[in-house]
Amino acid sequence: MNSHLPGWVPPLLLDRRKLMDRERNPFYRHSDAEFFIAERDGVPSGRIAAIVNHNHNREHHENIGFFGFFECADDQEAANALFETASEWLRARKVSAVRGPANPSVNDEYGLLVEGYDDPPTVMMSYNPPYYGRLVENAGLSKERDLYAYELHKETFISEKLERVTSRLKEREGLTIRPMDMKKFRKEVATIKALYARAWQRNWGAVPMTGEEFDSLAGGLKSLLEPELILFAEFRGEPVGFSLTLPDFNQALKYNRRGWLLTGLLCMFFLRKKINRVRILVLGVLPDRRKTGAGSLLMYETGKRANALGYPVGEAGWILEDNVMMNRAAQFMSGTRTKVYRIYQKSL
């Protein structure tokens, strides 16, 4: 549905199939899902998934369902039919509301793009035409939360003044920043897993990944990682936060118009040197250490190291609109808000 848009980046079909495969994706060990396609005169005009994430409902003491993988022609009748069909499936499972898009969860592509259509999406971020918001809202859903993405440039955030500020901050709070040790990959992943579970436990909508989900993600990303961009914040030798940043492989994959694996790998191999942007995919600090400025330090160190590796531009996102500390950290780095993603909800 998005192939005619200049900003659209074709996903790797193999990855997309795995994401939706209820046998291969460990997400479906704890969640239920059904997938629907709308057709007009035998021609597909849209699709949607209906999802019950039982781990989410347990974590947040809610009784809701989700919609995801929504794609549709500019056809309100088709969109209405898709949302009603998904809602009927969810009602049969006695949930009280539908929320989304989640593809299929908060730990994957999340939210509908509502601002920032001109710039192609960074790696693992969603993209859709502007009319999608109208289709969703006319189907009866309304805003639940917005998610922000910030763009950072070396010209605006790397400075002698900021270097002095961050150096004083590290000294005052007793913090150190170190990169991931790939020779201890399993041990480092275990540390990240523990930090992730604790750092996000109070965040709206956050659901800790199961061990199987985390291992699947880590295994899939291992060959794409830049160790200097996986950072740990430590206090007296103990990890209190981490950040995971990836080169924006979408800058290469946008030329892989059919989404095939082999041509996608060739694009990433031959065009990797042309990638000049990174995405801070995950950044979190333990609740009792957030006021130390560890989040800002991780973001600044990421920017410095990314620039040294040849990536002068970065995107920090997504960040919840009401996450005051992380929005301040992005603004502290002179980040410019360039994209807004929206989570919608409707009572059933």
3-state DSSP assignment of residue 312:
coil
pLDDT for position 331 = 87
Domains 13-148 and 151-340 share a fold: yes
Residue extents of the structural domains in the chain: 13-148, 151-340
Average pLDDT over residues 239-263: 93
pLDDT digits (tens, 9 = 90+) for 193-216: 889 888 877 789 999 888 898 888
3-state DSSP assignment of residue 166:
helix
CATH of span 13-148: 3.40.630
Alpha-carbon gap, residue 32 to 1, rounded angstroms: 25
pLDDT digits (tens, 9 = 90+) for 16-60: 999 999 999 999 999 999 999 999 999 999 999 999 999 999 999
CA distances from 73 to 6, 76, 86, 135, 341 (A): 16, 8, 17, 10, 20
pLDDT for position 123 = 93
> Quick one: pLDDT band at residue 2, thresholds 50, 70, 90?
low
pLDDT for position 211 = 85
> Quick one: pLDDT band at residue 219, thresholds 50, 70, 90?
confident
pLDDT for position 3 = 59
| Model confidence, pTM | 0.92
pLDDT at 6 over 80: no
pLDDT at 1 over 60: no
Angle at CA of residue 113, ends 224 and 196, nearest 5°: 45
Residue 5 CA, chain-centre distance (Å), reads: 21
* Amino acid code (one letter) for 332: F
Angle of the 211-221 helix axis to the 185-199 helix axis, nearest 10: 130
pLDDT digits (tens, 9 = 90+) for 150-194: 999 988 877 787 788 888 888 888 899 999 999 998 899 899 988
Write down the CATH superfamily of domain 151-340: Gcn5-related N-acetyltransferase (GNAT) (3.40.630.30)
Average pLDDT, the chain: 92
Q: Residues 53, 58, 61, 63: what is their CA dihedral angle, to the nearest 10 degrees?
A: 30
